[in-house]
Amino acid sequence: MKEKIREYIKSLGADDVGFAAVSDYDSPNTPKIESFFPKAKSIIVIAYKELSTCESPDPILAMNGRLDKDEVMRSNAYKIGHYLEGKFNAKIVSIPVSLPRGGTSAVSLRHAAFAAGLGNFGRHNLIIHPKFGTRVTFNAVVTDIELESDEKITKDLCIHCNICVNNCPAKALDEEGKTQVLKCMHVSQPFSFISQLSFLDKYIEASPEERKAMIGDYWPLYQANSFGTQYYCFNCLKSCPVCQNN
């Protein structure tokens, strides 16, 4: 059954697929999967390669490559759920690419990807895939179908070159094994909801003349509201030399 599912998902254009039994998923900082899906048995993790658009020095174009990929991931997640329900009478919950509650998600996709044999953690705290290196993102479908875990990758895929650490403009990776979230967000998401709140604070206090001058500042915030999280930094992902050309 696993191979049938894997083949179907790959036929949709996914780059890799891994399976993990829920009991093999170990993520201390996210909730137990059974807390939102009591009958959950397995996590199907799907990997998609990040295209070289992420190298663009224009952050809007780099982000557009991400949005293109995310749209495919989201529509495939629906097709996969539909397939599992129709073919195997399964129940499913699909786990988004992003959409965290505060700082954490219902499922940590990095920990799920590790449990499903799709790679392991590098110095940048991201998952390195054996073929796509760091240029890979994940989504997942949790299901009540019982599926055996794929073999975990235990060989260290990180080459410990520290390029990610030295290239982080926020200095968010200086401490090994920890991403300093606020430092990272400050640079990677300059138009986050925090920026929106501080814009509104200033706008409320501003005179009519000042408000006119603030329209230009509102534009990227408006775009972020329309398109979701806008990342303006891909440095740790794009600078990792492991398997960069796959």
The residues that touch ligand B12, with contacts defined as CB under 6 A, are: 27-30, 97-98, 100, 103-105, 107-110, 121, 124-127, 134, 136-139, 177-179, 181, 184-185, 188, 231, 233-234, 236-237
For residue 182, the minimal CB distance to ligand B12 (Å) is 8
Say if CB 126 and CB 165 are below 8 A apart: no
Please compute Rg for the chain using Cα positions. 20
Distance, CA of 35 to chain centre: 22
For residue 130, the minimal CB distance to ligand B12 (Å) is 12
For residue 211, the minimal CB distance to ligand B12 (Å) is 30
Nearer to ligand B12, 146 or 156 (CB): 156
Nearer to ligand B12, 23 or 104 (CB): 104
Nearer to ligand B12, 91 or 192 (CB): 192
Nearer to ligand B12, 103 or 208 (CB): 103
Nearer to ligand B12, 75 or 104 (CB): 104
For residue 121, the minimal CB distance to ligand B12 (Å) is 4
**Residue 64 burial (C-beta neighbours within 10 Å; 0-12, 13-18, 19+):** middle
Distance from C-alpha of 36 to C-alpha of 181, rounded to nearest angstrom: 25
Nearest Cα neighbor of 112 from 131, 140, 70 is 140
Distance from C-alpha of 46 to C-alpha of 122, rounded to nearest angstrom: 19
CA dihedral 95→101→107→113, nearest 10 degrees, is: 80
Angle (CA) 40 48 157, round 5°: 90
Spell out the residues 6+ positions from residue 231 whose beta carbon is closer than 8 angstroms to its own: 59, 62, 63, 66, 188, 189
For residue 222, the minimal CB distance to ligand B12 (Å) is 21
For residue 191, the minimal CB distance to ligand B12 (Å) is 13
Nearer to ligand B12, 77 or 126 (CB): 126
In terms of residues, how long is the chain?
246
